[in-house]
Amino acid sequence: MATVMNVQRDKIHPHKFTLWVAIGSIIMMFAGLTSAYIVKRSQAGWVMVEIPLLFWISTATILLSSVSIHFAVQHFKKRNLETYKKLLYVTLALGMAFLVMQVLGFNMYRDMDIRLTGAGSNASYSFILAIAGLHGLHVLGGIIALAWVTFKASNQSRREYNTVPAEIIATYWHFVDVLWIYLILFFNWMR
């Protein structure tokens, strides 16, 4: 009987497994997009794109949000729920600030009369919009999931200490953080 219990403890939770499969799929999608960017870059008419300073500031913001969610999970495991909830709210605020800075960064392109789509646009601009926009959608999905976890943590009448939801959202959040760091370094390197 003890052997069966140990085997069950060593198995990955089905939700965590699903998350890792999704992360693998997302990695493949972004690898394909960045590979296409590299191939298209060698074609005639390619224009190098300057990365707005605001994107670097948003990078610092998403890094801070990754730190805050890490400490949120640590406090949850210690059953310090008040600090856990506060850190979830901090992570939510930083995630939303990241998205706002991304939108403002793309507005800077518009203010410089750089067209990202349509007539007068260049493939390099469109690629940046598509890749960063897809990343933004993944961050938005993370914010929605994080809002749900925060709502549940704030409105529980009885306490449940199941760490799986907190660990899943933290893993996803760290993933979109690392993905953004890869993307901004990629765009900066490929200028």
The reported pLDDT for the residue numbered 159 is: 66
The reported pLDDT for the residue numbered 50 is: 83
Contact between 54 and 105 under an 8 Å Cβ cutoff? The reply is yes
Residue 180 lies in a domain: yes
90: CATH: 1.20.120.80
Question: What is the reported pTM?
Answer: 0.87
Amino acid 88 reads L
Residue 3 lies in a domain: no
The reported pLDDT for the residue numbered 126 is: 85
Residue 150 lies in a domain: yes
Residue 82 lies in a domain: yes
Domain of 28? 10-41+52-189
pLDDT along the chain (191 residues), means of 10: 56 89 96 93 81 94 97 94 95 98 90 76 83 96 95 76 90 97 91 66
How many angstroms separate the CA atoms of 190 and 80, rounded?
45
Residue 117 lies in a domain: yes
Residue 179 lies in a domain: yes
How many structural domains is the chain composed of?
A: 1
